[in-house]
Structure 1
C-alpha cells in the first residue's frame, strides 16, 4: 500500500479513475452550489428551521428505505451502468429545477417534492457509486483513491458554497441551478469514457434481495469493530451533522446575510478539505480507524462551542473544527469498510454506511429544526454536543478491543 502523495499519484495514473475523478469534481461543485442556493431559498420563503429540517429530511431520509436494497443489488449488478443512469436522471432533475426557478414557480412544497425525488435517486445510486471504486483502481491504490474522493468532495464543499454566495448576492438563484445542470452533463460525459476490463464482483449466495440485506446487516452487527464504528458514525450523524442542513438558521443567529451564510458553509468546507488532505497522507488503516473512533470527542466539544458562541469569529472557528471532524468520521469509516469486508459483501456494507451517513442527519435535522422553532437553535445543538461527547468517551475507552477485532 503506497503512502501519501505517491499513492494519490498512483491512483490518478489509472485512466478509469482519472476520468471518474474529473467528472466527479465538476458534479460535486455543482451539487453544493445547488444545495446552498436551495437552503437559502427555503429560508427566504419560510424563515423556519422546521422547513429547513423537512427539506433535509426529504433529501436524505430515502437513504434509510432505498439504500439497503440498492446495496444488495450493487453486489449482483453492473455498477457502472447503474451509476451512468442515475447521474443522467439527476441531470434531468437539475434541468427541471432550473426551468421552474426561471418561471418563478418554486414553492416550499414543490421544493420538498423535488428534494424527495432527488433523494430517492441519490439513495439508489450511492452504494453503486461507492462499490464501483475498487473496479476503477487496483487494491494497492484503494486507500489513496478513497482519500482522493474525499479531497474532491470537500474541495467542492469549499468552492461550491463560495460560488453560490456570489450567485445569490447577484440575485440569480436560477443560475445556481443551471450550473448544477451543466456539471452533471460533464460527469455523464466522463462516465461514458470509462472502460472496465473486469468487474470485481462475486454473486450473492442469498436467495433474495431481502436475505442479502439481512446477511450484510448480520455481518456488521456481529462484527465488534465494524459495529462500533458504524454506531459511532450514527451518533455523529444524528447529533453533529444536522448543523449543515440548518446552516441558514445558524447563520441567522449572527444576523448574517446571504454572503455570511455562504462564508459559514465554506468554512465548514475548508475544515473538511484540511481533514481530507490529512487523511490522504495517512495510509495506515489502523490509524484511520483510531481517528474515526476518537474524533467524536473533538466534534462534541466543537459543537458545544458553536451552540454557545455569540461572537461570529468563534462560531466560524467551531465550524472549521466540525468540518474537519466530520470528514474524518465519514471517510475513515468508509476506508475501513472498503478494506475490512469481503468483496461479496462490500456493496451492502457500504450501503449501510451511506444509509447512516445520509439518513441519520435527516432525522437529526428534522428533530433539531422542529425544536429550534420552539426553543431556539442553541439549546438543541448543545444537547447534541453533550450526547456526542459522552458516547465518544465510552468508545474511546474501548478502542483497543475494537481495533483488535478489525484486524486491519
Structure 2
C-alpha cells in the first residue's frame, strides 16, 4: 500500500499487513460490543422494568474487570498477547452464543443475566490489557501514535454504528439475534487474530514470585517511573472529574435544554462527532513528539467547555460545548495512551496498560456515581463545574511533573518489526 500524504500517519500505519487485519477484525468486534450493550440493557428492562437492575447489571460487568485487570496484565506479560486475546474473544463468543440461546428459548432470568455479566467482566479483564499491549507490535515505532489514534477513531465510529445496528435487530427480531450478532463478531475477530504474523515476543526471565508478585512489581514500576506515574495521575483526574458528564447528558437534555430524546440524541451525536474528529486528526498527525503539549492543553480546553455546558443556555451552545468536550477527551486519552506505550518497558507493557484500562473504565463510573448524587441534590451544573475546577487544580499540580517528564516520554524508541 502506497503512502498517501493526504492521510499522513494513517497511510503509514495501514501499510502494515498486521494492522490492516487487526482493524478489519476490531471494527466488527467493536460494533458487536455496542450491539451487546444496547441489547443487554433492553433485555434487563424487559425482565425487570427496574432502573436499579440496569445499574446492577452494568456494575456486575464492570467490577470484575476493574479488580482482575492488574492480575490479567501480569499474566499477559508472562505469555503471548495474541493468544490471550484469541482465548478471551473465543470465550466471549461462546458466552454470547449461550446468552442468545437462553434468550431465544425464554429460559433467561435476571439472575442468569447477572451471572453472565460477571463472567463477561472477567473475560474483559483478560482481553483488555492484552489488546492494548499488542498494538505496538502491529506497526513500526514511528507509527504508534497513528495506530492508537486509529483505534480511537474506530471505537468512536463503532459507537455510532453499533447502537443503530442494535436498534434495527431488536425492533425487527428481538434481543436474541442481537446477542447472536455479537457472538459472530467475536468469532470473526478470532479468525482475524489467527491470521496475524507477529515477531516472537521476548520471554521474561522465569521468577518465583507468581502472578501476585508480578502484579505488585507492576505497581512498584509505575510508582517509581516519574513520567508514567504523572500520566496516570492526569488520566485519573480526567476520568473521574471530566468524563462523567456523559452519564448526566439525559438530565441536561431534559432539565437544562428543555428537550426530550431528540435533545439527548443530538448531544450524544455531537459528542461522538467531536471524538471522531479528534481520532482522525491525531491519526493523520501520526507522531509522538508534541503529544505532551496536546495532553496538557486539551485538559484545559475540556474543563473550559464543561464550564460552558454547566452554565446552560441555548441548545446550540450545549451542542458546541459537548463537541469540544468529545474532541478534547479523545485528544487527552490518545495522547496519554501513546505516551505510555512509547515510554514503558516491553516486559511491563501488559501491567501498565492494565492500570490504564482500570482508570479508563473505572474512573468515569466512580465519578458519575458521585456527580449523580450531588446533581440529585444541587442540580446538574454544580457537579460538572465543580469537577472541572478540581481537575484544573490537579492539572496545575501535575503539569510541572509532566513537562519535566516530556523528553523521556516522547523519546524515539528502537524500531519494532510489525
Residues 183 and 283 of structure 1: is their aligned pair in 2 closer, same or farther, counting only changes over 3 Å? same
Alpha-carbon distance in structure 2 between the residues aligned to 1:108 and 1:265: 29
Residues 190 and 90 of structure 1: is their aligned pair in 2 closer, same or farther, counting only changes over 3 Å? same
Aligned to 1:395, which of 395, 398, 401?
A: 398
Alpha-carbon distance in structure 2 between the residues aligned to 1:112 and 1:371: 28
Q: Could you tell me which residue of structure 2 aligns to residue 117 of structure 1?
A: 119
Q: How many angstroms does 1:377 deviate by?
A: 4.4
**CA contact under 8 A between 1:286 and 1:403: conserved in structure 2?**
no
Aligned to 1:223, which of 196, 203, 225?
A: 225
**CA contact under 8 A between 2:342 and 2:410: conserved in structure 1?**
no
**CA contact under 8 A between 2:295 and 2:332: conserved in structure 1?**
yes
> Following superposition of structure 1 onto structure 2, how do residues 304-323 of structure 1 map, counting pairs within 5 Å?
304-309=307-312, 311-323=314-326
Residues 256 and 188 of structure 1: is their aligned pair in 2 closer, same or farther, counting only changes over 3 Å? farther
Alpha carbon RMSD of aligned pairs, Å? 3.2
What TM-score, normalized by structure 2, do the two folds share? Answer: 0.84
Residues 312 and 57 of structure 1: is their aligned pair in 2 closer, same or farther, counting only changes over 3 Å? farther
Residues 201 and 310 of structure 1: is their aligned pair in 2 closer, same or farther, counting only changes over 3 Å? farther
Unaligned runs of 5+ in 2: 412-418
Q: Could you tell me which residue of structure 2 aligns to residue 159 of structure 1?
A: 161
Q: Could you tell me which residue of structure 2 aligns to residue 273 of structure 1?
A: 276
Q: Could you tell me which residue of structure 1 aligns to residue 260 of structure 2?
A: 256
Aligned partner of residue 137 in structure 1, secondary structure? coil
Aligned to 2:84, which of 82, 85, 91?
A: 82
Q: How many angstroms does 1:363 deviate by?
A: 2.0
Q: How many angstroms does 1:359 deviate by?
A: 1.8
Larger radius of gyration between Structure 1 and Structure 2: 2
Residues 41 and 84 of structure 1: is their aligned pair in 2 closer, same or farther, counting only changes over 3 Å? same
Q: How many angstroms does 1:91 deviate by?
A: 1.8
**CA contact under 8 A between 1:43 and 1:248: conserved in structure 2?**
no
**CA contact under 8 A between 2:32 and 2:185: conserved in structure 1?**
yes
**CA contact under 8 A between 1:158 and 1:269: conserved in structure 2?**
yes
Once the two structures are superposed, what CA deviation does each residue of 1:282-323 show, in whole Å capped at 9, x if it has no partner?
A: 334241122223322222222333344354333332222222
**CA contact under 8 A between 1:157 and 1:266: conserved in structure 2?**
no
> Following superposition of structure 1 onto structure 2, how do residues 47-196 of structure 1 map, counting pairs within 5 Å?
48=51, 53-102=55-104, 111-164=113-166, 172-196=174-198
What TM-score, normalized by structure 1, do the two folds share? Answer: 0.85
Once the two structures are superposed, what CA deviation does each residue of 1:360-395 show, in whole Å capped at 9, x if it has no partner?
A: 223223333455555554443333222223322433
Q: How many angstroms does 1:260 deviate by?
A: 5.1
Q: Could you tell me which residue of structure 1 aligns to residue 27 of structure 2?
A: 25
Aligned partner of residue 200 in structure 2, secondary structure? coil
**CA contact under 8 A between 2:25 and 2:192: conserved in structure 1?**
yes
Alpha-carbon distance in structure 1 between the residues aligned to 2:245 and 2:191: 34
Once the two structures are superposed, what CA deviation does each residue of 1:107-130 show, in whole Å capped at 9, x if it has no partner?
A: 766655443332221112111111
Alpha-carbon distance in structure 2 between the residues aligned to 1:31 and 1:191: 17
Q: How many angstroms does 1:166 deviate by?
A: 5.3
Once the two structures are superposed, what CA deviation does each residue of 1:186-237 show, in whole Å capped at 9, x if it has no partner?
A: 2122122223342255446573222222222222222222111110100111
**CA contact under 8 A between 1:63 and 1:355: conserved in structure 2?**
yes
**CA contact under 8 A between 1:90 and 1:121: conserved in structure 2?**
yes
Alpha-carbon distance in structure 2 between the residues aligned to 1:37 and 1:315: 29
Tell me how many residue pairs correspond in the alignment.
405
